[in-house]
Amino acid sequence: MCGTCGCSDTANAVKITDLSTGATQTVREGSILNASRAEQDHHAHDEEHHHHEGDDQPHRHGPGGEIISLETAILQKNDQIAERNRGWFEGRGVLALNLVSSPGAGKTTLLEATIKALENDIKISVIEGDQMTTNDAERIRDAGANAVQINTGAGCHLEADMISDAVKTLDPVAGSVLFIENVGNLVCPAMFDLGERMKIAIISTTEGEDKPLKYPHMFRASELVIINKMDLAPHVDFDEKACLENIKSVNPNADILLLSAKSKDGIDQWLSYLKNQLSS
């Protein structure tokens, strides 16, 4: 649990770095619920949602005091911002994809290969999420796409308000693809909607074929599972059949692609999958 890593801690500042200008801004001093002054102004419209929930609140009288019925989703604030992001993406015709994996599964390498393969075809921008460093956003920029780095500090996942801030900086054009490379973590990002069209889980052959069974929530939340580093499969005794069965057992509806971002084997299927998604 995040009691150890300190997610949502007030001490947890979140920073966004625009790689085209090098400018860094602090978007959040801590938890969204203990928002700083600047952020309260920024999300002033969120506050409005709460005014009308005052006096007409459904309640009944219990033995002592009042029982107030809420039926309030605990992640409501995140979900509201995520829905707004989703509307913005749909309105502008931007395909937003949330890439999730363990650290080192090859998200950034896959993005580099994708950007290079589609450079004359599809405009791509990337939001990079990591606890620290702008290394990944620099790699993306060097590959030829616009990138914004979000550093979550102690946080172990991206949240919807970070995406809404990052998108203002990136300003993705109509008909483009926006990749959101989440913090490498197979647990927490499953729970946080960012407003994406879909989550895409990436596992690599070096991680072992039982990852989907160990982290079922993430694989259940993803519409596409990419098995990366297929070039290494023979060297690490990767059991492809077992891996496919494991994915299907936690998510029978998942699409599955096998590829190697490094050797480019299987990458064409991924590119056509992307193009299909963009046109649908």
Partner 1 sequence: MHELGLTKNIIAIITEHAKGCRVKRVSLSVGPQACVETRALEFCFDIVAAGTVAENATLEILPASGDTFLIKEFETEEAA
* Site for partner 1, rule CB under 8 A: 1-3, 7-9, 31, 33-34, 50, 53, 57, 62, 64-77, 187-188, 190-191, 217, 220
CB 165, min distance to partner 1, A = 19
CB of 35 to partner 1, least distance (A): 11
In angstroms, the CA 72 to CA 52 distance is: 14
* Amino acid type, 66: E
CB of 220 to partner 1, least distance (A): 7
Pick 213 or 271: Cβ nearer partner 1 = 213
Q: Which of residues 127 and 250 has its CB atom nearest to partner 1 in the complex? A: 250
Q: Of 224, 167, 155, nearest to 194 (Cα)?
A: 167
Q: How far is Cα 79 from Cα 83, in angstroms, rounded to an integer?
A: 6
Nearer to partner 1, 220 or 262 (CB): 220
Q: How far is the CB of 185 from partner 1 (least distance, A)?
A: 10
- The rounded distance, in Å, linking the Cα atoms of 214 and 203 is 12
Q: Which CB, 67 or 236, lies closer to partner 1?
A: 67
78 vs 151, beta carbon nearer partner 1: 78
Nearer to partner 1 among residue 250 and residue 267 (C-beta)? 250
- Phi then psi for residue 128, to 5 deg, are -100, 125
**197, 114 Cβ separation under 8 angstroms:** no
Report the nearest approach of partner 1 to the CB of residue 22 (Å): 31
Taking residue 277's Cβ as centre, other Cβ atoms within 10 Å add up to 16
User: Can you spell out the DSSP letters for 76-127?
Assistant: HHHHHHHHHHHHHHHHHT-EEEEEEESTTSSHHHHHHHHHHHTTTT--EEEE
**Residue 236: its H or E element:** none
| Shortest distance (Å) from residue 213 CB to partner 1 | 15
Rounded Cα gap, residues 121 and 174, in angstroms: 13
Contacts of 4 (CB under 8 A, 6+ apart): none
